[in-house]
């Protein structure tokens, strides 16, 4: 009932006040301002409930005259109309008797059946690298067609014959057997010297490695070399091609020696290089070829060309000293080698050649290391500081490197080269120290500095934005540290790099 009365108050009072305002809309303006209750009544929503007379206990204020639209003020409770707070009435609920709990039989927990684990999948087998396949056709022609083009009767144009020759290596190893005889025919008979030179070059690059292929190739080159006159470029290419066969061309040593009298210094230089490779022992216990060694000693003693003498020394180093059947005969046999070397040392004017002559004498007879009168090792080391030529300094450092541990007494002179401005000389010095090995431990701190970048090149002023210093010196220093510290040894295979 109280709540209904409250609704009547809010709804009926609004209707009453609203009606009063409408009847006196044109009243004079000088009216008292409406009270907050009136404003609230105007804003209250209308209701469809029929108005009920207010209770006698409620005294209403005089009805204010409605004036102009009042300014909206904050809603505050009116102190004139006490409104009792509604008391919540208790909710009546039906009384339900207490029911005894229903007995529930315990059920075993549901467990999903365990599924057997899937067996592990076998690892995929490692994929083999795809085998490189040589083409079956080159420029639209198969091997058989190109071989027919080598014959002058089938192809009179020498340029086309030359092009056919250059196409053969592209077919790979399968072309070796069918190509050997057509190529040798060109070396023997082709009327064009240019085609012959290409045939001589191709026959050394085909990779012939079977006797029935190597023998015809060497035989053709020997014949060509013997039948070609002096100062012909064909001779030069024949010697170079024979060089590529190594010890398998030992039968060609007489023809190669015959080309040693050629008027061209370049051909004579190639002869010295070829005899050094072909005359070297095929096995560790094998003996050097005496004919090749004697020619090189004679060339070293008499040839006027510096490059030829230098190659003769390298050829003798490759061949090695004599290997007599009885060790006590070595001193007697080595005299035949050392006499021409000593004779050349006395008259040699080129400082680079002189460094290698000293080295050759040491390698053939290391007794000179304790010979204070000769002291060839110290003489080599003195050239490391040769002021007039960086090339001479390079020859001296490389000669010390070839001596390996025997060069340990001149480590201080080699260490001086680490301070050179030329990076190639620094690289040569570090390589020499690596060859010497643990005896050079005292230089590890200096090598560590180079490894850290102390010798990195300075950025030039006109360098591009993406310029980076060359790290060659760092890498060589790192490798030298491994050899000097004993973590690597000379002759150890290099680890395979991961792809």
- 258-304 tens-digit pLDDT: 999 999 999 999 999 999 999 999 888 889 999 999 999 999 999 99
**Cα torsion 400, 404, 410, 413: sign:** positive
Most confident of 34-38, 79-83, 352-356, 362-366: 352-356
Return the higher-pLDDT residue of 163 and 126: 163
Q: What is the pLDDT of residue 145?
A: 95
Distant-in-sequence, close-in-space partners of 262: CB < 8 Å, separation ≥ 6: 230, 231, 235, 268, 271
Return the higher-pLDDT residue of 58 and 431: 431
Return the higher-pLDDT residue of 460 and 93: 460
Confidence of residue 255 (pLDDT cuts 50, 70, 90): very high
Helix (H, G, I), strand (E, B), or coil: what is residue 2? helix
Q: Is residue 141's pLDDT more than 90?
A: yes
Q: What is the pLDDT of residue 92?
A: 52
Confidence of residue 115 (pLDDT cuts 50, 70, 90): low
Q: Is residue 91's pLDDT more than 70?
A: no
Half-sphere exposure of 119 (CA within 13 A, CB side): 2
Return the higher-pLDDT residue of 94 and 485: 485
pLDDT tens-digit series, residues 333-345: 999 899 999 999 9
Q: What is the pLDDT of residue 299?
A: 96
Q: Is residue 161's pLDDT more than 50?
A: yes
Q: What is the pLDDT of residue 125?
A: 72
What is the mean predicted confidence (pLDDT) over 231-256?
95
Q: What is the pLDDT of residue 105?
A: 63
Domain ranges (residues) in the chain:
1-83
Could you give the CA distance from residue 391 to residue 425 in angstroms, rounded to a whole number?
A: 9
Q: Is residue 24's pLDDT more than 50?
A: no
Rounded to two decimals, what is the model's pTM? 0.71
Is residue 399 within 8 A of residue 386, CB to CB? The reply is: no
Tokens of 248: 């398998």
216-220: long-range contacts at Cβ-Cβ below 8 A with a sequence spacing of 24 or more?
216/180, 216/181, 216/184, 217/180, 217/183, 217/184, 217/245, 218/242, 218/245, 218/248, 218/249, 218/251, 218/252, 219/184, 220/183, 220/184, 220/187, 220/188
- Among 127-136, 182-191, 343-352, the least confident range: 127-136
- Among 7-11, 178-182, 323-327, 343-347, the least confident range: 7-11
Element (H, E) at 442: none
332 by Cβ neighbours in 10 Å (0-12 / 13-18 / 19+) ranks as: exposed
pLDDT tens-digit series, residues 208-236: 989 999 999 999 999 999 999 999 999 99
Half-sphere exposure of 243 (CA within 13 A, CB side): 19
- Among 110-119, 124-133, 254-263, 415-424, the least confident range: 110-119
Percent of the chain with pLDDT over 70: 75
Return the higher-pLDDT residue of 43 and 102: 102
Could you give the CA distance from residue 238 to residue 310 in angstroms, rounded to a whole number?
A: 21
Mean pLDDT of the chain: 82
Q: What is the pLDDT of residue 240?
A: 96
Cross-strand pairs, 138: 141
Q: What is the pLDDT of residue 37?
A: 40
Q: Is residue 412's pLDDT more than 50?
A: yes
**Cα torsion 227, 233, 235, 237: sign:** negative
- Among 25-34, 280-289, 377-386, the least confident range: 25-34
Tokens of 490: 């000379």
Return the higher-pLDDT residue of 304 and 22: 304
Return the higher-pLDDT residue of 126 and 28: 126
What is the mean predicted confidence (pLDDT) over 184-206?
94
């Amino acid at each position: 009932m109280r709540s209904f009365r409250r609704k009547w108050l809010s709804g009926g009072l609004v209707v009453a006040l609203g009606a009063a305002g409408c009847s006196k809309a044109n009243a004079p303006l000088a009216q008292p301002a409406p009270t907050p209750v009136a404003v609230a009544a105007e804003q209250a929503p209308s209701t469809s409930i029929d108005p009920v007379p207010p209770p006698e206990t409620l005294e209403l204020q005089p009805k204010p005259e409605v004036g102009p639209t009042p300014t909206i003020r904050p809603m505050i409770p009116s102190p004139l109309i006490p409104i009792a707070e509604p008391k919540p009435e208790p909710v009546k609920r039906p009384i339900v008797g207490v029911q005894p709990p229903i007995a529930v039989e315990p059920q075993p927990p549901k467990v999903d059946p365990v599924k057997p684990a899937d067996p592990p999948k076998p690892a995929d087998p490692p994929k083999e690298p795809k085998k490189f396949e040589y083409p079956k056709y080159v420029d639209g022609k198969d091997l058989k067609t190109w071989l027919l083009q080598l014959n002058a009767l089938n192809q009179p144009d020498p340029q086309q014959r030359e092009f056919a020759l250059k196409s053969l290596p592209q077919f790979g190893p399968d072309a070796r057997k069918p190509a050997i005889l057509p190529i040798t025919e060109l070396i023997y008979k082709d009327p064009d010297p240019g085609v012959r030179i290409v045939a001589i070059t191709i026959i050394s690059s085909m990779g012939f490695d079977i006797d029935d292929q190597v023998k015809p190739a060497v035989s053709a080159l020997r014949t060509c070399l013997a039948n070609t006159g002096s100062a012909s470029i064909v001779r030069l290419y024949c010697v170079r091609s024979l060089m590529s066969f190594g010890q398998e061309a030992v039968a060609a040593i007489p023809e190669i020696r015959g080309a040693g009298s050629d008027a061209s210094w370049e051909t004579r230089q190639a002869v010295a290089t070829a005899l050094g490779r072909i005359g070297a022992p095929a096995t560790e216990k094998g003996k050097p070829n005496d004919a090749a060694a004697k020619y090189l000693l004679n060339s070293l003693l008499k040839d006027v060309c510096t490059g030829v003498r230098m190659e003769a020394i390298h050829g003798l180093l490759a061949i090695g000293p004599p290997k007599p059947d009885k060790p006590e005969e070595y001193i007697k046999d080595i005299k035949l080698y050392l006499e021409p070397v000593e004779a050349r040392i006395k008259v040699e004017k080129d400082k680079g050649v002189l460094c290698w002559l000293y080295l050759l004498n040491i390698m053939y007879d290391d007794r000179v290391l304790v010979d204070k009168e000769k002291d060839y090792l110290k003489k080599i080391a003195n050239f490391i500081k040769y002021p007039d030529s960086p090339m001479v300094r390079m020859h001296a450092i490389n000669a010390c490197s070839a001596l390996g541990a025997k060069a340990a007494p001149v480590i201080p002179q080699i260490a001086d080269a680490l301070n050179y401005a030329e990076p190639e000389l620094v690289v040569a010095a570090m390589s020499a120290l690596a060859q010497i090995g643990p005896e050079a431990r005292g230089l590890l701190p200096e090598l560590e500095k180079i490894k850290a970048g102390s010798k990195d090149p300075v950025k030039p002023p006109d360098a591009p934005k993406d310029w980076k210093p060359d790290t060659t010196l760092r890498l060589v220093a790192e490798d030298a540290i491994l050899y000097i510290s004993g973590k690597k040894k000379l002759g150890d295979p290099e680890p395979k790099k991961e792809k």
